[in-house]
Amino acid sequence: MTDTRPPDRPALIDALREVYDPCCADRGISIVDMGVVEDVRVDDDGRVEVDLVLTTGWCPFVTAMSDAIPERLRAVAGVQDVHVQVV
């Protein structure tokens, strides 16, 4: 039987602690700990929205982070879709 409940926000934040800005990966500082994740929302259907605020407007790693976030969050039970936006 498949669990169809959406994940809770703390589980999503924990998963995001395993995603790193490539410029800080060697230091082990996650995007959550860097303060790059501004908000995480999940609806009853398991659709997740992640808002990022970049450390600089010309961050060369935004694409890498935007690709890594959905990949990591889709591994969390109950996540159906992930949308990442820079705010």
Is residue 52 situated within a structural domain?
yes
CATH number, domain containing residue 37: 3.30.300.130
pLDDT for residue 3: 58
Our count of domains for the chain comes to 1
For the stretch 54-86, pLDDT in tens is: 877 777 788 899 999 999 999 999 999 999 999
pLDDT bracket for residue 2 (50, 70, 90): low
CA pair distance 20, 31, nearest whole angstrom: 5
Residue 15 resides in a domain? yes
Q: What is the tens place of the pLDDT at every residue in 10-52?
A: 999 999 999 998 877 788 889 999 999 999 999 999 999 999 9
Q: Look at residue 16 and tell me if it is in a domain.
A: yes
- Cα R_g (the chain), whole angstroms: 13
Residue (of 43, 2, 35) closest to 16 by Cα position = 35
